[in-house]
Amino acid sequence: MTLPDDGSAPDWAGFIAAYLDELRDVRRASPNTLDATTRDLQRLQAVLVAAGHCRSGDIRRWIAGLHQDGHQTASLQRYLSSARGFFRFAVGRGWLTSNPTTGVRAPRHRRKLPMGVAADALGQALDQRAGSIVERRDRALLEALYSSGMRLAEAHGLNVPQVAHGQTELRIIGKGEKERIVWLGSKARSAIDDWLSVRPQWLRREDEPALWLNPRGGRLSRSGIGLAVKAFAQRTGLEGRVHPHRLRHAFATHMLEESGDLRAVQELLGHAQLATTQIYTHVDFKRLASVYDGAHPRARKRPGTDDVG
């Protein structure tokens, strides 16, 4: 495909379809990335078709309009990132002579930390007796999320063979198709074994591999996992809005508080950049002051000395 010489509009739909094929077949983008990019570029296509051309001003007006409509800054940055990738591809193929996203910036996004969950409160909730099948599934699900720090998509994709035979080390595929190992603690392992003992009661076909089932015998959906976590929190009295990512945050912060090993937690979370792991840390001032007083040689009091006024 090349840009038409007769003054007619470019084939934006064809260009975008070719780029999505590239993402899927050549770059092996994850299904989540592919779905999000498709939605973003469908928005962009509508703007380009309406404008009849493609200039930096069109992209700026597009982002500004979305901002005024109330789209969050994180979403605006993703829309612009999808557009940049597409236009780089189009320039590389010779369909465009320049990238109209050059110099265009989305509003800055202040990354907010999810609310924490106290280790004691979470432990008390998880230690409550689970009687029904759904309660046993939900307890195993939360134990697995909290014990391993898995993302929602990673937990959703778990299959029974990965946790059979008492494994405590799970090999999972995370963001960007990167493989890593996560661990299940003894409490999580016990809760999963308990769930596996009653899981057959929900099975509708013997070859269903999914670890987390819904009552109809199919794989529990991502939204179903979120609802299960919410229901568990309500049943057990956990305060605040509890969701899978909040459990991942709890895993990260509690591990950091006990170990102080940021690099190890980075590996466990599957973060490519250490800076991403650092946003999960929140150390209050008293703890920071305590660390300083105990560690700095000029801050520590010497035995038998007093402050001089």
DSSP code at position 283: -
Residues 79-125 have pLDDT tens digits of 989 999 999 998 999 888 888 888 888 777 555 555 668 889 999 99
Q: Which of 151, 189, 219, 254 is catalytic?
A: 151
Q: What is the mean pLDDT of residues 136-140?
A: 97
Q: Is 165 a catalytic residue?
A: no
Confidence of residue 33 (pLDDT cuts 50, 70, 90): confident
Residue 172 placed within a domain: yes
Instruction: Tell me the pLDDT tens digit for each residue of 262-273.
Output: 777 777 777 766
Q: What is the CATH number of the domain that holds 44?
A: 1.10.150
* Domain stops at, among 190, 220, 240: 240
Does 254 participate in catalysis according to the annotation?
no
Q: Mean pLDDT highest for which of 114-128, 266-280, 295-309? A: 114-128
Contact 253, 281 (CB under 8 A): yes
Q: Give a yes or no: residue 44 inside a domain.
A: yes
Both 167 and 221 in one domain: the answer is: yes
CATH number at residue 171: 1.10.443.10
**Adjacent-strand bridge partners of 169:** 183
* Distance from the first to the final alpha carbon of the chain: 81
Same-domain status, 171 and 83: no
Tell me, yes or no, whether 104 lies in a domain. Answer: no
Are residues 123 and 53 located together in one domain of the fold? no
Buried b (16+ CB within 10 A) or exposed e, 241-275: ebbbebbbbbbbbbbbeeeeeeeebbebbbbeeee
Are 154 and 86 found together in one domain? Answer: no
Q: State yes or no: is 271 an active-site residue.
A: yes
> How many Å apart are CA 89 and CA 80, to the nearest integer?
14
Q: What is the DSSP string of 3-66?
A: --SSSPPP-HHHHHHHHHHIIIIIS---HHHHHHHHHHHHHHHHHHHHHSS--HHHHHHHHHHH
Q: Are residues 33 and 86 in the same domain?
A: yes
**Domain identity same for 69 and 138:** no
Across the range 156-170, mean pLDDT stands at 92
Residue 280 is among the residues annotated as catalytic for this protein:
yes
Q: Is 245 a catalytic residue?
A: yes
Q: Which of residues 215, 240, 265 is at a domain's end?
A: 240
Residue at 113 is within a domain: no
- Tell me the percentage of the chain whose pLDDT exceeds 90: 40
Domain that holds residue 127: 119-240
Structural domain includes residue 157: yes
For residues 46-52, average pLDDT: 79
266 falls within a domain: no
Same domain, 134 and 236: yes
- 161 and 216 inside one domain: yes
Select which of 156, 246, 248, 254 is catalytic.
248
Mean local confidence (pLDDT), 31-49:
89
* Last-in-domain residue among 191, 222, 240: 240
Closest CA to 80 of 67, 96, 69: 67
User: Cα separation of 82 and 69, whole Å?
Assistant: 19
Identify whether residues 232 and 128 lie together within a single domain. yes
Q: Does some domain include residue 192?
A: yes
pLDDT surpasses 50 at 307: no
CB atoms within 10 A of CB 9: 12
Residues 160 and 86 in one domain: no
80 and 171 in a common domain: no
> What pLDDT does residue 110 have?
59
Which positions ≥6 away from 188 have C-beta within 8 Å?
140, 143, 144, 146, 147, 148
Indicate the burial class of 209 (C-beta count within 10 angstroms; 0-12, 13-18, 19 or more): exposed
Specify whether 60 is catalytic: no
| Active-site option among 175, 180, 230, 235 | 175
Residue 124 belongs to some domain of the structure: yes
Mean pLDDT of 57-77: 85
| 143 and 226 inside one domain | yes
The total number of structural domains in the chain stands at 2
